[in-house]
């Protein structure tokens, strides 16, 4: 009870302190969350040299008493957090908005009175127009771009239609300055009219690409065209990619398994369905995969499947803090959309969960199943052979997907050892009394640890190591596949 009162005091004090951070209070909050909510706490504390750990804890506690600068506070507390050697457990530092907050004021918007009909008349009557001139659109705006009367190298982009109620006909959404052949600098006003963003821009076929704003030409009609969605899929470096660089070879590239890319994978599977179903060899490139949600990669499992796949489950550290954070982050909107009887059904599950605070289990199920099985009704003829590429920068869900997929008789893992960041997962972020410092901690623990298995310790091992002198892994692997 005394400990609870102490923590309540810390958090209530932090509200009073506002932007004035006390580093020793920040450390106590971080220490509290690691001890109380971190899923790896019990494993780690049993592995530590307790004398060395206690000395570090006391040193950090003492040093933080005299620190008043956020960055130095972060650096000192990070010594304590880093001692746990878990890449999913980390301290975060960002510039404090509380100290530098300024009220955003709307930008004064210029208006040019021109209709789409008038613009079409100008474009059709002009003998020569600049490549940026024309009618362009994306899912929100239709914009007419014409040359400025004052400056032949300056172009104005005027709203013709808008789904954003902040913008109306005739308002200048963007300006473009030509800097060379097919070299432009585009400045556009954000949807809320509070910020002007400037980027280099170029034209590719029918696409005007300014990084944060991409438009497709409606008129004049381009000889070569590409769908705006397809262009975004190909050019966004965080998106999964699918290519067919050689006959009988499909190459999937996954920079990450971010949840927002689930739809991207589904689109690629549907778009290239017939070709994928006749391609003998696949390479799934997970080098430098940042992790995310393994469900993104699991979209490929029906093609790889040859037998039931065993998936070791994980149990969450059931605490009041973790429950509230998990509920508010992931469940609240869904729960509030349900009918009263449906909410009552979930309430009954949550009641049992709350009665188990202090233990490990599942949030939405009271069944302590240590492993799940993934099964499909059929197997596919193609691909016949699959290589998964991993390296020392393959993290988290990239490692988990490799563990699941390699259970297929079609799959061989090649490359080098993975990063080893998967024993503890389902990361939650906790604030501290300091707006610039927060703590990310894993709330769940994988059940394979109880069998003496540790991926964080041993990494995911490839079936075949790729020699260090090989620079082009794709060509090297393809030659292996063809043998």
Burial of 372 (0-12, 13-18, 19+ CB in 10 A): exposed
Whether the CB-CB separation of 211 and 231 falls below 8 Å is answered with no
Class of 237-313+371-418+460-482 per CATH? alpha beta
Instruction: Provide the pLDDT for residue 8.
Output: 40
Q: What is the mean pLDDT of residues 21-34?
A: 96
For the stretch 75-124, pLDDT in tens is 999 999 999 999 999 999 986 443 333 345 678 899 999 999 999 999 99
Q: 9 pLDDT exceeds 60?
A: no
Give residue 14's pLDDT.
38
**How far does CA 203 lie from the centroid of its chain?**
28
Cα 286 to chain centroid, rounded: 15
- CATH class of the domain at 116-234: mainly beta
pLDDT for the residue 101: 38
Per-residue pLDDT, 233: 76
- In this prediction, residue 368 carries a pLDDT of 80
When mean pLDDT is compared over 14-23, 195-204, 363-372, 417-426, the highest value belongs to 417-426
Task: Give residue 104's pLDDT.
Answer: 53
Summarize the confidence of residues 135-147 as an average pLDDT: 96
Does 473 have pLDDT greater than 50?
yes
149-175 residue pLDDT tens: 888 889 999 999 999 999 999 999 999
Is the pLDDT at 457 greater than 90, yes or no?
A: yes
- When the pLDDT of each residue in the chain is averaged and rounded to a whole number, the result is 91
233 vs 78: which has the higher pLDDT: 78
Which of these, 34, 28, 140, lies nearest to 88 by C-alpha position? 34
- Report d(CA 143, CA 147) in Å as an integer: 13
pLDDT of res. 105: 63
Reported as a single tens digit per residue, the pLDDT across 321-352 is: 999 999 999 899 999 999 999 999 999 999 99
From CA 141, how far away is CA 161, in angstroms rounded?
6
Q: What is the pLDDT of residue 482?
A: 87
Q: What is the pTM of this model?
A: 0.77
Average pLDDT, integer, range 355-377: 91
Each residue of 289-300: pLDDT tens digit?
999 999 999 999
pLDDT at 95: 61
Give yes or no for a contact between 229 and 268, defined as CB atoms under 8 angstroms apart. no
Q: Is the pLDDT at 301 greater than 50, yes or no?
A: yes
Burial of 245 (0-12, 13-18, 19+ CB in 10 A): exposed
- Please give the pLDDT value at position 127: 85
As a whole-number percent, the residues of the chain with pLDDT over 90 amount to: 83
What's residue 228's pLDDT?
87
CB-based contacts of 189, cutoff 8 Å, min separation 6 = 107, 109, 172, 173, 174, 195, 196
Show Cβ contacts of residue 343 under 8 Å, excluding neighbours closer than 6 positions. Answer: 335
Is pLDDT at 446 greater than 80 in this prediction? yes
Domain boundaries, the chain: 2-94, 116-234, 237-313+371-418+460-482, 315-361
């Amino acid at each position: 009870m005394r400990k609870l009162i102490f923590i309540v005091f810390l958090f209530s004090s932090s509200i009073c302190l506002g932007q004035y951070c006390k580093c020793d209070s920040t450390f106590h909050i971080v220490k509290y969350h690691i001890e109380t909510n971190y899923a790896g706490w019990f494993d780690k504390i049993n592995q530590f040299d307790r004398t060395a750990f206690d000395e570090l804890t006391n040193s950090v506690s003492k040093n933080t008493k005299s620190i008043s600068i956020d960055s130095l506070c972060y650096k000192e507390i990070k010594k304590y957090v880093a001692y746990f050697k878990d890449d999913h457990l980390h301290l975060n530092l960002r510039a404090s908005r509380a100290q530098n907050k300024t009220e955003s004021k709307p930008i004064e918007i210029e208006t040019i009175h021109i209709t789409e009909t008038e613009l079409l008349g100008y474009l059709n009557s002009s003998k020569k127009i600049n490549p940026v001139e024309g009618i362009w659109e994306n899912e929100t705006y239709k914009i007419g771009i014409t040359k400025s009367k004052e400056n032949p190298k300056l172009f104005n982009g005027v709203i013709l239609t808008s789904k954003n109620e902040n913008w109306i006909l005739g308002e200048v959404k963007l300006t473009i300055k030509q800097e060379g052949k097919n070299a432009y600098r585009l400045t556009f006003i954000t949807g809320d009219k509070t910020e002007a963003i400037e980027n280099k821009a170029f034209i590719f076929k029918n696409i005007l690409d300014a990084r944060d704003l991409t438009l497709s030409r409606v008129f004049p009609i381009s000889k070569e065209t590409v769908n705006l969605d397809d262009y975004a899929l190909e050019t966004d470096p965080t998106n999964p990619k699918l290519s067919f660089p050689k006959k009988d070879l499909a190459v999937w590239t996954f920079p990450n398994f971010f949840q927002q890319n689930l739809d991207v994978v589904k689109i690629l599977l549907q778009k290239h369905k017939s070709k994928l179903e006749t391609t003998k060899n696949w390479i799934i490139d997970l080098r430098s995969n940042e992790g995310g949600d393994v469900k993104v990669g699991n979209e490929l499992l029906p093609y790889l499947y040859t037998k039931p796949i065993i998936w070791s489950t994980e149990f969450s550290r059931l605490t009041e803090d973790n429950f509230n954070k998990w509920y508010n982050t992931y469940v609240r909107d869904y729960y509030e959309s349900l009918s009263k009887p449906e909410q009552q059904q979930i309430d009954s599950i949550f009641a049992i969960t709350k009665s188990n605070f202090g233990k490990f289990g599942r949030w939405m199920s009271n069944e302590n199943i240590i492993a799940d099985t993934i099964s499909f009704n059929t197997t596919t003829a193609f691909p016949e052979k699959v290589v998964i590429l991993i390296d020392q920068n393959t993290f988290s869900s990239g490692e988990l997907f490799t563990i699941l997929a390699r259970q297929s008789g079609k799959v061989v893992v090649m490359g080098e050892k993975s990063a080893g960041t998967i024993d503890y997962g389902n990361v939650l972020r906790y604030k501290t009394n300091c707006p610039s410092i927060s703590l990310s901690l894993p709330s769940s623990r994988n059940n394979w640890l109880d069998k003496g298995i540790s991926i964080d310790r041993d990494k995911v091992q490839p079936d075949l190591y790729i020699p260090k002198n090989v620079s082009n892994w794709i060509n090297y692997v393809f030659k292996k596949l063809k043998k």
